[in-house]
């Protein structure tokens, strides 16, 4: 299947700092990527939909000024957690859809990025 890579795999930061997580589609172009968050022992929760060349669409309850999403190219989307706090500690996962429009097929997921805010 298609490969989606996230970086970093894990990161520890101090409270108040910002952290950037990258999501890359390695062998295909993705006009749409999705960002999820997963707290311990819970399911994945969709945070936002990242569209290449346009603004991201955020789910209800997700602060767009806190979780900045940039999808500058067809193979890269970034999620920046600004002014991180301990409650932002979570497992962040991106996914990308193969294809540019029309039928989309399955979504492929990155390995996830574990953020710990001290």
Partner 1 sequence: DAKTTQPTSMDCAEGRAANLPCNHSTISGNEYVYWYRQIHSQGPQYIIHGLKNNETNEMASLIITEDRKSSTLILPHATLRDTAVYYCIVRVNYGGSQGNLIFGKGTKLSVKP
Rounded CA separation 8/5 (Å): 9
Q: Quick one: 36 or 67, whose CB is closer to partner 1?
A: 36
Buried b (16+ CB within 10 A) or exposed e, 63-75: eeeebbbebeebb
Q: Quick one: 33 or 81, whose CB is closer to partner 1?
A: 33
Cβ contact 109:3 at 8 Å:
no
Q: Which of 34, 88, 115, 117 binds partner 1 (CB under 8 A)?
A: 34
113: which 2 tokens?
A: 């990025």
In the shown chain, the binding pattern of residues 76 to 115 toward partner 1, with x for contact by CB under 8 A and - for none, equals: ---------------x-x-x-x-xxxxxxxxxxxxxx-x-
The residues binding partner 1 (CB under 8 A) are 1, 4, 6, 32, 34, 36, 43-46, 49, 57, 91, 93, 95, 97, 99-112, 114
């Amino acid at each position: 299947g298609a490969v989606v890579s996230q970086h970093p795999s894990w990161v520890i930061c101090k409270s108040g700092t910002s952290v950037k997580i990258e999501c890359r589609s390695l062998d295909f172009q993705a006009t749409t990527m999705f960002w999820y968050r997963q707290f311990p022992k819970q399911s994945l929760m969709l945070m936002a939909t990242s569209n290449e060349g346009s603004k991201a669409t955020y789910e209800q309850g997700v602060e767009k000024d806190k979780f900045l999403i940039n999808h500058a190219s067809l193979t890269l989307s970034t999620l920046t957690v600004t002014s991180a706090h301990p409650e932002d500690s979570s497992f962040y996962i991106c996914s990308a859809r193969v294809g540019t429009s029309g039928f989309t097929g399955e979504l492929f997921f990155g390995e996830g990025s574990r953020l710990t805010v001290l």
